[in-house]
């Protein structure tokens, strides 16, 4: 989970809303009850918890490498176009979904085992898809196993970064 929303306050606001570091986060201007519940899920209950919280990871979503420059083990986050979709069953009866995604020059494969049933209808060749994960290699082909994904509306691509969900 990443935080992309910041509340800026001047010193008088801080003094008015934060009496000490044991103050529950719900009393911070702009947080409220609903956001405090979301923060509690990741262990942030007080102002001190907030000060001591360091994100586990950061994905720079605006720098997108070319697929041909990538290697197994690289962590990536990039906008791609769906090239093809292939669903098949394995020997033990489980389903496997492979989705080929391209940056316009090269292709990598996104693979899901035991995926949600509606996935095979969601992926349409030509649609934009943001993918994130750690690359592996299978049969000489770069692969993302169970990547994080977001569908990108082509008309709204310029607003993509503004409309992302945040706490």
Which residues have CB under 8 Å from 111's CB, separation 6+?
96, 97, 98, 99, 138, 143, 144, 145, 146
Question: Quick one: pLDDT at residue 2?
Answer: 44
Q: Which of 49, 38, 33, 34 is nearest to 3 (CA)?
A: 38
pLDDT value of residue 134: 93
Q: What Cα–Cα distance (Å) separates residue 159 from each residue in 62, 64, 65, 106, 153?
A: 13, 17, 20, 26, 9
| Torsion 48-51-54-59 (CA) sign | positive
Query: Token digits for 93?
Result: 């009866």
Q: How high is the pLDDT of residue 107?
A: 93
Query: Domain locations in the chain?
Result: 11-52, 67-159
pTM of the model: 0.60
67-159 topology per CATH: OB fold (Dihydrolipoamide Acetyltransferase, E2P) (2.40.50)
Asked if 110 and 98 count as a contact pair (C-beta separation under 8 A), the reply is: yes
**pLDDT tens series, the chain, 167 aa:** 444 445 566 666 655 555 677 888 898 888 889 999 999 998 899 988 887 887 666 555 555 778 898 999 998 888 899 999 999 888 888 889 999 999 888 999 999 988 888 887 889 999 999 999 999 999 999 999 999 998 887 655 455 445 555 44
CA atoms within 13 A on the CB side of 45: 3
Q: Which residues pair with 28 in a beta bridge?
A: none
pLDDT of amino acid 54: 74
Q: Write down the pLDDT at residue 6.
A: 53
């Amino acid at each position: 989970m990443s935080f992309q929303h910041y509340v800026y306050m001047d010193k008088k606001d801080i003094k008015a809303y934060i009496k000490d570091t044991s103050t529950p986060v719900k009393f911070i201007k702009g947080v409220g009850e609903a956001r405090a519940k979301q923060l509690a899920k990741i262990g942030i209950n007080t102002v001190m918890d907030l000060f001591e919280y360091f994100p586990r990871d950061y994905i720079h979503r605006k720098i997108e490498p070319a697929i041909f420059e990538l290697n197994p083990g690289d962590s990536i986050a990039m906008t791609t176009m769906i090239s093809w979709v292939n669903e098949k069953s394995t020997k033990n009866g489980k389903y496997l979904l492979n989705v080929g995604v391209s940056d316009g020059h090269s292709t990598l494969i996104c693979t899901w085992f035991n995926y949600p049933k509606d996935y095979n209808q969601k992926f349409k060749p030509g649609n934009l898809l943001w993918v994130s994960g750690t690359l592996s290699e299978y049969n000489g082909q770069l692969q993302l196993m169970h990547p994080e994904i977001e569908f990108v509306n082509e008309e709204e691509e310029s607003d993509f970064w503004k409309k992302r969900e945040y706490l």
